[in-house]
Amino acid sequence: MGTGKRGLIATAVAVVCAVTVLAAPGTAFAAPRPDPESTSSASPARTPGPDLEAVREKLDKLYRAAALATDEYNAAEEKADRQSAEIVRLAKKIVKGKERLEQLKKRAGAAAAAQYRGGGLPPEARLMLSDDPQEFLDGTGRVRQGHHATKGLIGELTRTQEDLEQYAKDASAQLKKLEAGRKAKAAAQKKIEKQIAQAEKLESELREEEQERLAELEQKAADEAQTAWLDSGILAEIDGKASAQGKKAVQYAAAQIGKPYQWGAEGPKSYDCSGLTSQAWITAGRGIPRTSQEQWKQLPRVDVRQMRPGDLIIYFDDASHVGMYVGDGMMVHAPRPGRTITIAGAGSMPILGVVRPDAG
């Protein structure tokens, strides 16, 4: 990793440290050891507070559930966008098809009128009345051509009508899918709001000093998980250099540090975890799936040891969280509701795997 990149990361880390301890990630980590100082300093006159480690675990479950529902919400929204675009495309085809049908009907009407006007006498009579047999024969050829043209016109009319009927069926099917998608999106939204409301209620019931202690526990858990990851010696094997697009994606993501997490958001004022990574790569010139689960399913996977800045780290067995590797064992991500986009240890959460948007 170049000097400029190390300077970028160092600056980003400094910004994060200067914000507040509340910017620490709030997802699941290895359970921290109790702090003997905090337990010994508690006032015996006060009612014992809640088990903050149990609170941290409960919050983690609630926010993880919200993250999964957010992925469902984003997936439904993405499908709805595609279906809406398909309906618009079909509607345009229907309009053009109707215009074409009207033109063909006019041509068919004109052809029928012309055939009626020239078809009153049988061919033998027209030959006898003709002063020029060659002119008659030429006219007969034109009549045959007219018959062929009429048959072709009728065939095109039929095909156009069939196409219109198919477009209408396809549009109707897309409308049904769109309605089902809207219901799925609404259901996911209810899940998200329910989980976040429960988590916020749980946090709001804590005293100020308990909230501070909870944030410390979260940070301590993240630090311990990151230390264990680094102690494995893995960082010595990770020395990949960022591609040109990867550098642009990292620069975009790092520029969002300090902005709030908001489920379903894709910027520019707020983001959820996959909203940040997808927008970063779109800005870098590479469109990728919107959700962390689809990013895991669709993007090429690379070994953690081959990781390079710009790659996406997918977390947890259900692929419910994603961050972007920025080098030096660090990643940038949008942690969860109530937190801001921040730099964190790449190993501070359980890694499912790594994907590369610009592989090859």
Active site residues: 273, 321, 333
DSSP 24-61: S--S--PPPPP-HHHHHHS-TTSPP---HHHHHHHHHH
What is the gyration radius of the CA atoms in the chain, in angstroms?
33
Query: Are residues 357 and 312 in contact, defined by beta-carbon separation less than 8 angstroms?
Result: yes
Query: What is the strand order of the sheet 342-345 is part of?
Result: 301-302, 351-355, 312-315, 321-327, 330-333, 342-345
Residues 6 or more apart whose CB falls under 8 angstroms from that of 256 comprise 267, 271, 276, 332, 341
Question: Closest Cα partner for 325 from 259, 260, 234, 219?
Answer: 234
Give the end-to-end CA distance of the chain in Å, rounded to a whole number.
Answer: 20
Query: What residues form DSSP beta bridges with 342?
Result: 333
**3-class DSSP state of 138:** helix
Tokens of 12: 């980003």
For 313, list phi and psi in degrees, rounded to 5: -100, 120
Q: Which two tokens stand for residue 239?
A: 């020395």
Residues 47, 314: Cα–Cα separation, whole Å: 42
Q: For 340, which DSSP code?
A: B
Using alpha carbons only, give the angle 224, 227, 232 rounded to the nearest 5 degrees.
130
